[in-house]
Each structure stands twice: as C-alpha cells, then as structure tokens.
Chains A and B, each alone.
Chain A
Amino acid sequence: DGGITQSPKYLFRKEGQNVTLSCEQNLNHDAMYWYRQDPGQGLRLIYYSQIVNDFQKGDIAEGYSVSREKKESFPLTVTSAQKNPTAFYLCASSIERTAWGGYTFGSGTRLTVV
C-alpha cells in the first residue's frame, strides 16, 4: 500500500543535541512538507520541497534544516539553534504543491527535549 512513513513515533533528546526526523513516501509525490504542531494549536509550515534537490523555507524555518536528495525522502533536522523544539512534527506529501485537497500526512513524530 502506498503511504507516508514517519519514524520514530516518539523521540527524546537532550537539550543542545541535533536530531533528525525521518519521512519516507512511496506515493510518487513530487512535493513534500514539514509542519510543526504545538498543543491546542494549528499546524505551522517549517519547510517544503516541490522537487528533488530543491526546498523552500516556510513560516518557522529558523533552527531547522532539510534535504531532498531523493524523491521519496525528506528528512528534517532539528538543530540546537531551535529554542523550543519540543512539539509534534508532521510530514506530508502531495502530487504537486497546489494539489490542496491531496495532501497525505504521516502519523507524526513527537519530539521531547529534556
């Protein structure tokens, strides 16, 4: 079955450490996205990529980095520069960026920094 997989589901890290969240899709989608969600809040866009080897900053890119070396993969690194990294992180993909009704989301990674 086609889908989008995020791993791990739960992640704990010490303050000051970089951490990389995995996102893999086998939907043959060109566009991929990373969102952050804080308790009781909506989703905020961190980064997005419309095609391999290209990505753009979203609304809250500071303290995060991404790469898009393969169509299937869009890993997110939360760096030590991110002041408040504890959150629920969601990865999504779509056949193209403007396919607004066709976003497929992963099940998320809950990151806790202690």
Chain B
Amino acid sequence: DAKTTQPPSMDCAEGRAANLPCNHSTISGNEYVYWYRQIHSQGPQYIIHGLKNNETNEMASLIITEDRKSSTLILPHATLRDTAVYYCIVTQSQGGSEKLVFGKGTKLTVNP
C-alpha cells in the first residue's frame, strides 16, 4: 500500500489554479515527496519533488508543510491538457529495497 493519501478526484476550471493535496503523515526525515502524473493510456510523467522546502519548476509548485505530514501540488494556470491522474509518492522500503509505489492518485479534470 502507498504511504500517501489523496482524494480520488478533483475538478478545476480552465485557467484557474489547481491545488492537489496529499497526506503523508508517516514520512521519515530523509524521505522526499515525488509527484508524477499520468494522462489517459500513457505512461506516468515526472512533475516535481521536494524534501522540506517549497519547490517550483516550469510545470508546477510544491508546497510542503513545516511538519512534512502533508503537501500540495499547485498547477498555477490549469489547461485542458492537465487533465490526468496525479500521483503523490513517498518511497517505501520493502525487503531491504526501496521502491516507488504508485497508489490510485487523484483524477484531476480540468473543465472548459
């Protein structure tokens, strides 16, 4: 099971900011939060990651709370092409080996 909790779905109007929340209350001090997204019937695409400071790149911003138990991915001006499933991921150790675990994510629908 994933170490993160996300709402199953969200809607956003085109041109508005999309704020996607994620809870990761059991995150360890040296674990990063990663965000990927998957457009229908394609492979996931890396968006952004962070440890404790807020991060921004050309795709999105990542806001991580001071206690690191939750974060928010922000798409500042959502377009119809941003409709996708967004995965918030914290790596997991299993059998001594770390791995990425993709949960069910949040299905974001951007409406015209």
Q: A residues bordering B, Cβ < 8 Å? A: 4, 35, 40-43, 45, 48, 56, 58, 88, 90-92, 97-98, 100-108, 110
Contact = CB atoms under 8 A, between A and B. Distances in A.
Contacts, number: 53
Given A41-B104, A42-B105, A102 B46 contact: yes
Interface stretch (B21-29, B65-73, B74-82, B93-101): B93-101
Nearest to B36: A103
Interface size class of B (residues with CB under 8 A): 20 to 34
B91 A42 contact: no
B100 A100 contact: yes
Nearest to A110: B41
A34 to B, nearest CB: 12
Contacts of B101: 42
A10 to B, nearest CB: 10
A42 B34 contact: no
A98 B49 contact: no
B91 A100 contact: yes
Contact of A101 (B2, B34, B41): B34
B76 to A, nearest CB: 20
The 4 lowest CB-CB distance pairs between A and B, nearest first, are A105-B43, A43-B102, A42-B102, A101-B49
